[in-house]
Structures are given as C-alpha cells and as structure tokens.
Amino acid sequence: MSLQTLIEFLSTPAPPGVADPPALPPTLDNLPTDIYVKGALAYIDAYPFERTFIVFDPQQKTSSKTLTPNPAWQERSRAVLKACVSAERTRLAPLSSDAPYHASEHQLNFVREYIINRRWSLEEAASEMRGIIAFVRSKTRTPSAAASTIDTSVVEQVRARDGDKCRLTGVELQKEGADGEDQIAREAAVATALHVVHGLPFKIGKPSFTLLEALTGIDFSPWVTDCVENAFYTLPTIHDLFAAFKMYFECVQTAGGEQIIIRGRPGADASPVRPLNQILNDKDQKCSIILDQALHPPHDTSIADIDPKFFILHRYVGDIHWMSGGPEPVPDEDEDEDDDEDVKVLSESNMSTVMEMLRAPEVNWLPREREGFFAPRMELVHKDQVWLDPG
C-alpha cells in the first residue's frame, strides 16, 4: 500500500508557477529502501521527458545550449536514470574512506536527492548523468590524450614503467628502424603505435567529480587523476575496447597478494572476444586468451604502478553505460557537432566504434574510398545519400 501511495504522491503534477516539488510528507518519509527504489523506477518509467531544458556540460556545468527531447533522447534518458538507480554499488566499497561502505544507504540517498527531490525536472537530472558517462567514455577513448592533453612526464613514466610494452598482451613497441617481420601477424600499425590509456579522464574537474559523488556517495576531493597510477600502456584496439567499457580491470585477493585481473563484459554486443581474436599477443596467441588473466607485471618497479581505484570507478560507469543499452549509434541532438562520438572518417583509433555503428540497425551507412589531398581515405556515406565525386 505504501508503494502505491508513494507513486501517487510522486505523480502529482506541478501547479502553475511552482518550480520545486514539495518534500515527502511524514507518512512517506521513513519507508524501506526497496520501496523508494521501486517507486523511483516506476516514476521514471512514467515521466514524459518532454520539457525544453539547458543541456549539461560535464566539464563546466554551464551551457547556453537548449534541447527539446526527441523520442530517442527520451528513451535513452529513461534507461540511464533507471541504471543509475539500480547499478550494483557494493563493488565500490574499496573506494570509500568510510568503513564499512553502506551501498544501500548511498543508493537511497541518490534516489531521494536525484529522483524524488528533482522529480519535476528529470530532464536536467538525465542530462547530467548522461553527460558524466559520455565524458568518461569519450575522454578515455581519445588517442590525443596520450600525447597532447596530459603532462608529458606522466606519459614518459608510464612508458618507462611498462617497458614500452602493452601491459595486457606483452606486445612490444617496435623502435624506429627495427625489423618488422615478426609484426606481420599483428594488427596494422601496432609496431609503431601503443597508447597511454587512463581509467578516469585526466584534468577532470570538480563538476564531474560532484556528479560522481552524487552517483556513488563517495568523497573524491582527495583524488588526483593526472598520475601514472591512473594510466597504462596498451594496443590501440584494446584502448578502444577499454574505452567502450567492453574490458575492465578487477582487483582480487590471491595467496600472493592483490592482483589486477583483465575482464571482458558478457553479451553479444559488449563482448570483446571477436576484436581480441583479430590480434596476437607476444606469444603469437589470439588475444582473447588474456581475459581472466593477471595483468603483466611492470617493467620498472620504482615507478608507481596502476592504482585499482581509478579502474573500479571506470568499471562502475561502464556498468551503467551497458545497463542503459550500450553505444548510442546515432549522436544525440544535445551533443556538440565536433564531438568525438560523431567521427565519420575511419581511423585506427575509431575502427571498433565505427564497426559498432555499421552493425546497428538504426544506422544506414556504407564505407567508401575517397581520394584525399595526400592519400586515399575511407569515409562513411549514408546509403540514401547522393554521392558526387569532386572534380
């Protein structure tokens, strides 16, 4: 009975001119957590997501851009908020300075503060949660982050610590002028390119951490992300899989102490097995063999090694991403025109994302070769588009 009463109260429409919803009455103020969770999920399902609102910027928390939700935005936003409510929080316990970490208490806090207390403006709440997930994903998958947007000294320390080798596969960066015959079976360009990848975005700002704190209930004020503990060296393909949350790290206790284990997500859409089988490790084995195995040890133990805390949080954001449906093949109207997710030129760094787009039923693209100024390149062209060859 209390659940139905809660749902009815939450569904009371806003009176004209009233911006903030009223607080829960005393009769609904001390219910069990599962009642609040069920009520919030039911309310999210029924919420129309139709108000025009200001789009959230996860880096600045300010934006002048407004959006009137379309059906795709509405569906995705509903799924993201439900995932934020339901995601398993117990695995976040190692990140908390409070012992023990009460996962159900932080779930309740999120439901009450983010859903119930903001129930007349869930468009903004959804935009914020979608923004932080997209921010982590896009900044993790951006190759330039390994070379130009983070401190060069951090990059060099990661390379020195990992011995110019992929920490997951053992594949070594081939130095300029070295014999490339032993690289023939490996993926294209791996001999000359390995990527520095981070679990959380470098240069992450307080607005983004504020959202993560709301989502998890953890105080991130002492965290510093611009460090070697938040990075590792790997192949470009694995960089893409990790950034798409298809691969993650799990810290486990063994007889020999803590070990970082490489994991892959289950499910046809999320599984990294197929792309991993297209590349070989340092033993000339298909790289799917690395799943459920320990990370390669560091080459230089005098340099701080990977800190699992950054990657526990990365996995948690990935949980919400995949619970809410995984990749969004068609960019939302609220994304910037130059957003990384809207790349149309095929490259080594975005190949896996492009293949996801091509497999998606919502997208109707064909790759075609086009002559550029310096060399041919592949572009995505809509099947219904009239394609004229310049010149």
pLDDT band at 15 (very low <50, low <70, confident <90, very high): very high
The answer to whether residue 35 scores a pLDDT higher than 60 is yes
What digits encode the pLDDT tens for the residues 267-320? 989 999 999 999 999 999 999 999 999 999 999 999 999 999 999 999 999 999
pLDDT band at 257 (very low <50, low <70, confident <90, very high): confident
The encoded tokens of residue 217 equal: 């209930």
The encoded tokens of residue 194 equal: 């390995």
Do the beta carbons of residue 44 and residue 119 sit within 8 Å?
no
Secondary structure string (H, E, C) spanning the chain: CHHHHHHHHHCCCCCCCCCCCCCCCHHHCCCCHHHHHHHHHHHHHHCCCCCCEECCCCCCCCCCCEECCCHHHHHHHHHHHHHHHHCCCHHHHHHCCCCCCCHHHHHHHHHHHHHHCCCCCHHHHHHHHHHHHHHHHHHHHCHHHHCCCCCHHHHHHHHHHHCCECCCCCCECCCCCCCCHHHCCCCCCCCCCCEEEECCCCCCCHHHHHHHHHHHCCCCCCCCCCCHHHEEEECHHHHHHHHCCCEEEEEEEECCEEEEEEEECCCCCCCCHHHHCCCECCCCCEHHHHCCCECCCCCCCCCCCCCHHHHHHHHHHHHHHHHCCCCCCCCCCCCCCCCHHHCCECCCCCHHHHHHHHHCCCCCEEEEEEECCCCEEEEEEECCCCCCCCC
What digits encode the pLDDT tens for the residues 89-130? 999 999 998 778 999 999 999 999 999 999 999 999 999 999
Look at the alpha carbons of 16, 21, 22, 27 in this order and tell me if their dihedral is positive or negative: positive
| 349 or 330, which is more confident | 349
Is the preceding omega at residue 100 within 30 degrees of 0, hence cis?
yes
Alpha carbon distance 66, 57 (integer Å)? 11
pLDDT band at 350 (very low <50, low <70, confident <90, very high): low
Alpha carbon distance 321, 230 (integer Å)? 20
The answer to whether residue 37 scores a pLDDT higher than 60 is yes
| 129 or 385, which is more confident | 129
Alpha carbon distance 204, 54 (integer Å)? 22
Model pLDDT, residue 148: 41
Alpha carbon distance 277, 288 (integer Å)? 6
Q: Is 163 left (phi over 0), alpha (psi -120 to 50) or beta?
A: left
- Which residue type, as a one-letter code, is found at position 262? I
Do the beta carbons of residue 324 and residue 350 sit within 8 Å?
no
The encoded tokens of residue 182 equal: 């032993």
Alpha carbon distance 365, 379 (integer Å)? 10
Instruction: Please state which of the ranges 1-5, 240-244, 307-311 shows the lowest mean pLDDT.
Output: 1-5
The encoded tokens of residue 303 equal: 């340099």
Look at the alpha carbons of 214, 218, 223, 226 in this order and tell me if their dihedral is positive or negative: negative
Closest by CA to 28, choosing from 52, 60, 4, is: 4
pLDDT band at 340 (very low <50, low <70, confident <90, very high): very low
> What is the model's pTM?
0.80
Residue 234 pairs with which residues in a beta bridge? 195
Do the beta carbons of residue 195 and residue 231 sit within 8 Å?
no
Residue 67 pairs with which residues in a beta bridge? 53
Do the beta carbons of residue 300 and residue 167 sit within 8 Å?
no
Whole-number average pLDDT of the chain: 82
